[in-house]
Structures are given as structure tokens and as C-alpha cells.
Amino acid sequence: MAKHLLYLCQNLTFMTFLEEINRRRTFGIISHPDAGKTTLTEKLLLFGGAIQEAGAVKSNKIKKGATSDFMEIERQRGISVATSVLAFEYNDIKINILDTPGHKDFAEDTFRTLTAVDSVIVVVDVAKGVEEQTEKLVEVCRMRNIPMIVFINKMDREGKDAFDLLDEIEQKLGLKVVPLSFPIGMGYDFKGIYNIWEKNVNLFSGDSRKDIEETIEIKDLNSEELNDLIGDQAANTLREEIELVDGIYPKFNKDDYLAGDLQPVFFGSALNNFGVRELLDCFVDIAPTPRPKQSEERLVAPDENKFSGFVFKIHANMDPNHRNRLAFVKIVSGEFKRNAPYLHVRNNKKVKFSSPNAFFAEKKEIVDISYPGDIVGLQDTGNFKIGDTFTEGELLNYKGVPSFSPEHFRYINNADPLKSKQLNKGIDQLMDEGVAQLFTLELNGRKVIGTVGALQYEVIQYRLEHEYGAKCIYENLNVFKACWIEAEDPKNDEYKEFLRVKQRYLAKDKQDQLVFLADSSFSLQMTQQKYPSITFHFTSEFN
């Protein structure tokens, strides 16, 4: 009898565990700057009841800024610099959004975040169409077969024709699209959206304060009711366009979408809160639950009973009053429990977490138990790095995202000799976050900061001063590329000669790997030819 009861309890616990996994949707929102990505995030939170007012930063109502942009420099510039994690419930589904920076100078943060999402929403501006940064990010998603939904935003403004936009998305992004909603007019003539997915018409009033627009169910597009709603001309145009959609585009197939082979498209206006509910309702229906993840050792499924997870982001000074760091961990399998001992694989040490955090932008709350798909924030005193894996004892290593060769290089110098300790600590912690890369020259120990974009230097300078009380100045350095060095035989004469001749161009990165800082493309080419037994890598993960 006791055995039977125990079996029943275990079975019920496992069923609850599976239900919790199936309830989760973890996704990222990607786009070019100014396409309306952060606004869309806000409106999704509004529908989830997570916030009452869009743009409300509770601590300071006068200075309005998006909820997900919590760093002061982001508020000043109106761009997202760091990835925010936001969670809310909608129709009994637990939704985790990772809002990524759109600005190209912060692309590395976005690439890393894409290792932690199960699906993606791509935001495209109706007037600008597909832009360069969107192409790069979608390429990363395609390489990883991440399911994508496209949201064409700002339909209340004049822009490109809907069919031209769909063609552009297919050609430039290499996607196979299927519209699940379609606009009725555009800009000044924008009357609303026909929701192909739910077979209804959503009328546009242009009032952004309304939470949900008026939705009228229309089973038959040929009914007179459509003419009464939007007028004869608009009704006839819509009928023709939907007939074209049916003829040109494939029927929606969920399996193809989940495999990354088919991308549903929605139209709307995030600023006016229009078309967002349709997107959210469909997303909850079709988006994947937490997916298996490949580690270096094996494929790990979410419903395994042993916990495992990895650090995809580190953020220093979430609370400027306390010099703390938070490591953002994506849970891949099993249950993560507060105060349970877990193995930090790289350090081979057991660690316990007494106050793991769940997020709502800058608000955090302590959680006792988290499930696959969830993101938890772990307090860190400087022991964790991006890519670190935690398990219940198994030696797993989740494949991280490599560091890419930076495009800008500058010496970083101390502007206040009394604050050198603070400066070193600040540089150390910001580099752990992956804000930029640090190289220390072998010849004289000078520190060089390499970044993807020039704007990152401003962010580093600002954060060093405001979070660490340290001041720095930069000095230009002529470097074309940073290459990670791999020698066939570190003992051979060719390698020894390379180390001697190129000494002034050699540096170590934060992981103590040797890096060659080539000053021009010609010099790199000549060096590669002269030392054929040495491989020059443009990303740090080659071993």
C-alpha cells in the first residue's frame, strides 16, 4: 500500500513537472534599432497584466522610459544596451521574454542571448523594411533552426506595400513566409487587420490607450457585413488580397514552423497597441515549449529529472547601491531549487544559492523552484563566466557563443591614479559581462579594449564612472583584427620565431589565450604565409 502511494505521489509530481515545462514559452525579440521592439515588449507585458501603463518607470513617473530599458545610459539615449529578462503569465502560460539590444554596437550580447531562447519574434518597420542588423540576427537564428514569427510594425504610418514587404523578407532574410494576418489599408487609410488565423476583423481606432480593440468575427469574407464595416472599396481590395495570399503562400504548418522552415507573419502597430493581442494569442498556441539543448557531451532533454543550466549573461551592479553581479542562467533540464547544492562544472565546486531571482525588468523576486525554460538570476561575487554550466553532478558543458574578433581597439588608461583599484575591478567585471573584450599586451602589460562598435566605449566609460567611481581615458591603437593563435607544435622553431618576431603584437585575452593583434590585412596575410604551422582564428572557441 505504502509503495503504491509513493508511486502515485512520484507520478503526480512528474505530471506537474511536465505540465510546468509545457506551460513555458521562452523567446527573444530581435530587430533593427527603432523598429519598435521595446514598444512591442511593453505592449505584450500590458496584455499579460504585468504593467498597468506603458512606459511607466515606477521610481520616476516624470522621466518616462521603457520598462525593459533599466540602465541610465539607455534612458538617456533611448536605445537598449543590455538584454533584459521579463516574465509574465498570459492565459495560464508562463512567458519569458528576452528583450535584446537592436543597436549593432551591442550585437554580441544579442548573439549570446540567442543561445537561451526557444523561439524568436522578428520586428520589421513597415517603412524601412528589412535592415542590415536584422539580416545578421536572422542569419544566426537560421543557423540554429530557431522558430521565428515576423511582426511588421507601424502599419498606421505610410510604408511599403504588404506584398512587397513579404517578398523582401523572403529574399533578404531567406525565409519562407505565411501571413496569418493582413492589413486593411496602410498609413492614413489604415482601417484595421483581417486576422487569417482566427477569421475575424480587428478595426483600428488609433487610440493607444485602449487595451483591446474592437474585434468582429467574420467567417465569410464575401458577406455584406464586411462592406458595412470597412466600406465597399476597402472590402473588395481585402477580398482580392486574401485570394492572392491563399494562392501564393503555403498553408500554415506547425511542424514546419517549429523546424525553422516556415515563418508566420503578423501586421500591426505596437505603439497603438494594435495587432499585438493577435500575435500573442497565436504565439501562445504555436510557439515551442522548452527544447532539448546540445552539450559537448550529449543532447539534454528538458524533461530529464536532473537539473542542468548555463550562464548566458552576467550583469554587474543591477542595484547600484550594492556592488553585486547577477549571472543569468537558462534552465535546460530538471528543477532548479533554492538552497540545493549544484556543481559549478568549470570550477568543479559545489555551490548553493539562497536567493535565486526571477525577473520583471528591474524588479526581482526570490523564487523557490524554477523549471526548464525559466531564467534565474544568481548572485555572483565574481566566480562565474558566460558559458558556465551548473548540474546536479554530471560533467556537462553547454556550447557557448564564441567571442568574435572585435572591430575597434583602444588602449584604456587610468585618469585618476588614486582610483586604480576601482578601475581594475570595474574593467574586470564589465569584461566578464561580455560588454567588450580585454587584451593585455605581452610586451608591457598595457590593457587594450576591443569592441564590436564604437558606442561601447562610451558605455564602459559611463559605467566605470557611475558604478565604480573610476575614470578612464582612451588612446587609439591601430589594430585591424584580433586572431586567436593555435600552434601545431608549441615546441617547434617556427612557433618560437613567431613569438620572438611578433612579440609587440601579442596579447593574452581574459581566458589567458594567446592573441595576435594584426595591424593591417596585408600584415596578417604575410604572417599567415610565413608561419604555415600556426592557425589564426577569428573566434575564440576553436579548441
Q: DSSP for 140-152?
A: HHHHTT--EEEEE
Of the two residues 92 and 10, the one the predictor is more confident about is 92
Contact (Cβ atoms closer than 8 angstroms) between residue 30 and residue 122: yes
| Mean pLDDT within 151-177 | 88
pLDDT of residue 83: 45
Q: What domains appear along the chain, each with residue ranges and CATH number? A: 25-286 (3.40.50.300), 293-391 (3.40.50.300), 408-537 (3.30.70.3280)
Across 83-97, 102-116, 207-221, which has the greatest mean pLDDT?
83-97
Classified as helix, coil or strand, 455 is: helix
Of 237, 231, 199, the closest CA to residue 218 belongs to 199
Edge-to-edge strand list for the sheet holding 437-441: 472-476, 408-414, 447-451, 437-441, 506-508, 514-518, 481-487, 534-537
Kindly tell me the number of DSSP H helices and DSSP E strands found in the chain.
14, 31
The burial class, CB within 10 Å (0-12 / 13-18 / 19+), for 346 is middle
Q: Can you read off the three cell numbers belonging to residue 337?
A: 531549487
As a whole number, mean pLDDT of residues 270-299 equals: 87
pLDDT at 105: 45
pLDDT of residue 61: 34
- Is the pTM higher than 0.85? The answer reads no
Distances (CA, A) of 303 to 18, 146, 290: 7, 20, 9
pLDDT at 242 over 50: yes
CA distance 257 to 263: 6
Average pLDDT over residues 395-413: 80
Report, in angstroms and rounded to the nearest whole number, the Rg of the chain calculated over CA atoms: 26
Report, as an integer, the average pLDDT of 435-446.
88
**pLDDT of amino acid 73:** 47
Looking at every residue in the chain, the average pLDDT score rounds to 80
Q: What was the pLDDT predicted at 257?
A: 94
Distance CA 27, CA 11 (A): 30
Tell me which of 161 and 62 has the higher pLDDT.
161
62 vs 69: CA distance, rounded Å: 15
pLDDT of residue 150: 93
**pLDDT for res 115:** 81
Measured over the CA atoms of residue 432, residue 97, residue 268 and residue 150, the dihedral's sign is positive
Output the nine-digit C-alpha cell for 422: 576601482
Over the stretch 304-357, which tens digit does the pLDDT of each residue have?
Answer: 989 999 988 877 655 555 556 778 899 999 999 999 999 999 889 999 998 888
In this predicted structure, what is the pLDDT of residue 254? 93
Gap between the Cα atoms of 469 and 453, Å rounded: 24
Query: Which phi and psi (to 5°) does residue 256 adopt?
Result: -65, -40
SS3 398: strand
d(CA 48, CA 191): 25
- Residue 409: predicted pLDDT: 92
- Beta-sheet pairing, 263-267 with 148-153: parallel
Q: Which three three-digit cell numbers place residue 525?
A: 596575410
Within the chain, what is the greatest distance between any pair of CA atoms?
86
Judged against a pLDDT cut of 60, whether residue 211 lies above it is answered with no
